[in-house]
Amino acid sequence: MPRIPSLLAPLLFAATLLAQPSATAAHAIAYFGEPKYPADFQHFAYVNPDAPKGGSLAMSLVTTNSSFDKYNPYSLRGTPAPGLIELVFETLTVNGLDELNTQYGLLAEQIQVADDLTSVTFRLNPRARFSNGDPVTANDVLHSYQTLTGEQASPRFKAYFAEIAGVQVLGPLEVRFTFKRAGRDLSFIAGSLPVFSAKWGLQADGTRLGFGELRFEEPIASGPYRIEKGISGRSIVYRRNPDYWAREQPVRRGQFNFDSIVYKLYKDRATQVSALRAGDYDFLSENQMRYWCCQYIGQRFDDGELIKREFVHKNPPAMNGWVLNLRKERFQDRRVREALNYALDFEWINDKIFDGEFKRVDSYFANSELAARGLPSADELKLLEPYRSDLPADVFGPMFEQPTTVPPARLRDNLAKALELFAEAGWHNRGGVLRNAKGEPFVLEVAGTRAQSPFTDPIYLNLSKIGIVVRKKLADAATSRRRMAQFDYDYASLALREARMPGDELWRNFNSADADRPGSENILGLKSPVVDALITHLLEANSQAELQVAARALDRVLIHNHYVIPWRYLDKHYLIYHQRLHAPDTLPLYYGANEWVIGTWWDTTANPPRLASRP
């Protein structure tokens, strides 16, 4: 993204701090257009405002070491207890779950984005209180920002807030975030800042623990729950705060209804599934279809005590799949990357291993209006034309369709296509092995904890059929992370984070400046001025129409260059839950299953049950 020249930056930054934004403060800000809910709204449509408070919810989690060693989810070292971010901490704003991208004030009662999109000012709700009864102030916001972007917090937060130039306290309840660039997305990033008290870590004798030293000191935050009891290696119990400040706020009404929420920890999936069948916990969101189809059986399911149900959603799936290290010469040829895509038999794996429930990702904006389809429009061509000499000719034609083995297509034909592409790139099958003109074999090292699995082994088998030498190198998680941070790999999995407005996520993963920075998220080593420019167009779009054009043009460039071998997504949530748990009648559109259940469901055995609703 374009940056302010270094000599001008201090002057512009000082001028921005002194200038007052001219935009009108509002209860909510939509990325484009107007918020769905007016200033006087009473609750979101996807909640039951009369849901009874009480009862309990038992969740489950599989952890690699079946343990946690801290209540601080933001520090660098250690493993935090589950549920902290969702239940204990709050942010300045929250996103509505039935709108594409609108932020509503939570800790902030007013949001004021500058007309030039270079800053946002939040006015805090004077009712907002931390769990110790202290008011939430602008100084707490500043403290939280400085802490999370400091050395003792996980570096991912510094990276996430990297385009915030500074934070200024304007008054006891007013704080301004100034940005390094103009952008509609940046007020959403600022609004997602978790806020906690500066007193967290303060000892009785007046000394203070460093942020990275906080372990089992209870967080001083503003969320609806407090920690009741934690047993490392077994469980953590949260108790609803009876003095929760926002229980009647419109953005919280009808939400967080359980008196008690417990997370139970299990060492592996088999134990977790057995525990559900035994009635040890109440709810599970499943995304492994080999379990969904065949493991959830038994008396509790037969009697209706445990319910299996699918819930639709409109979540735009993030791109996920496999990437090749572009820093290595043999992967720089686009035809090689495309050939490896043809060796993936998605339909066979989906049918035999995933019970046919998954769909293949076919776009960086799959399941949304931003995905490119068919031929490019006139507006897309206008955006792409200046880069024609730097792009494959295919970008200007029909959108690439992912290889398939749905009849009459066959795997044999796809492998033949792969060999044809390899031959064009100078690799020929000699004696069953792909070799270049020097006689060197085409070697693909697959390493890490997933070097061998039920769904990767069929991929490696197909690669060997066309003469690729696949070398498996098992490694523990720590070794794998270290190697990836140093970009020491051939072939690795990639999963971008899901985002309704994915420009920032794409920038973090694909911008050229980060390609050679160890530990960056640009693991594939992509250096493309064209991709940089198109992501910038995406970020700077001033209307939904401009956003769609930029996204579709970018989609064509990324897909036709075969930087990622696309994998899979689900367009439904697959849930198993106890019959006493009920959901609101109206589904949200964009939601995570766990957060939805925690936030909006209720226990029908809670007293008094003021309103019942169908499950």
The predicted structure's pLDDT at residue 155: 87
Question: Is residue 519 exposed (0-12), middle (13-18) or buried (19+ Cβ within 10 Å)?
Answer: middle
CATH number at residue 506: 3.10.105.10
Tell whether 452 is covered by a domain: no
Mean pLDDT, rounded, for 486-501: 89
The reply to whether 296 and 185 lie within a common domain is no
What proportion of the chain, given as a percentage, has pLDDT over 70?
93
Q: What is the DSSP letter of 282?
A: S
According to DSSP, the β-strands at 235-240 and 260-266 are: antiparallel
Tens of pLDDT, residue by residue over 89-144, are 999 999 999 998 999 999 999 999 999 999 999 999 999 999 999 999 999 999 99
Total domains present in the chain: 3
* Cα distance between the two ends of the chain: 47
Q: Tell whether the model's pLDDT for residue 609 goes beyond 80.
A: no
Position 7 in a domain: no
Domain termination residue (choose one: 189, 220, 251): 220
Range of the domain at 268: 44-88+223-315+571-615
Domain annotation covers residue 155: yes
420-434, 448-462, 599-613: which has the minimum mean pLDDT? 599-613
Burial 415-447 (b: 16+ CB within 10 A, else e): bebbbebbeebebebeeebbbeeeeeebebbbb
Q: Point out the least confidently predicted range of 91-100, 348-357, 447-456, 599-608.
A: 447-456
Query: Among 192, 220, 248, where does a domain finish?
Result: 220
Residue 596: CB partners within 8 Å, gap ≥ 6? 97, 573, 583, 588
* DSSP three-state, residue 163: coil
Report the sign of the C-alpha dihedral through residues 411, 413, 416, 418, in that order: negative
Tell me if 391 is assigned to some domain.
Answer: yes
215 lies in the same domain as 305? no
Least confident of 8-12, 137-141, 188-192, 462-466: 8-12
Claim to verify: residue 544 and residue 592 sit in the same structural domain: no
Q: How far is CA 386 from CA 138, 313, 526, 534, in A?
A: 46, 38, 20, 11
Strands (E) located in 395-528: 428-430, 433-435, 443-448, 469-474, 491-495
Could you tell me where the beta strands, DSSP code E, fall in 257-345? 260-266, 283-286, 306-312, 320-324
Q: Is the pLDDT of residue 9 over 60?
A: no
The answer to whether residue 457 sits within a structural domain is no
Three-state secondary structure of 97-113: CCCCCEEEECCEEEEEE
Q: Say whether pLDDT at 12 is over 90.
A: no
Torsion of CA 243, 246, 247, 251, to 10 degrees: -170
Calpha distance 340→535 (Å, rounded): 26
Nearest to 145 by CA among 112, 126, 113, 122: 122
The answer to whether 427 touches 593, Cβ cutoff 8 Å, is no
Q: Are 599 and 96 in contact (CB under 8 A)?
A: no
pLDDT-derived band of residue 613, with 50, 70 and 90 as boundaries? very low
Domain boundary among 220, 255, 289: 220
| d(C-alpha 43, C-alpha 251), whole Å | 6
Mean pLDDT of the chain: 91
Mean pLDDT of 155-182: 95
- 614 lies in some domain: yes
Q: Is 284 found in the same domain as 135?
A: no
pLDDT above 90 coverage of the chain, percent: 80
Do 300 and 401 reside in the same domain of the chain?
no
169 and 215 within one domain: yes
Cβ proximity of 488 and 501 under 8 Å: no
What three-state secondary structure class fits 543? Answer: coil
Tokens of 513: 């400046």
pLDDT bin (cut points 50, 70, 90) of residue 251 is very high
Q: Does 161 share its domain with 210? A: yes
Residue 472 burial (10 A CB sphere; 0-12, 13-18, 19+): middle
In single-letter form, the type of residue at position 384 comes to: L
- Which pLDDT score is estimated for 18? 36
- For residue 5, is it within any domain? no
Does a structural domain hold residue 119? yes
271-319: pLDDT as tens digits: 999 999 999 999 999 988 889 988 998 899 999 999 999 999 999 899 9
Sheet containing 306-312: which strands, arranged edge to edge? 283-286, 572-578, 306-312
Are 512 and 581 part of one and the same domain? Answer: no
Q: Whole-angstrom Cα distance, residue 597 to residue 201?
A: 31
Q: Please name which of 524, 552, 337 lies closest in space to residue 424, comparing C-alpha atoms.
A: 337
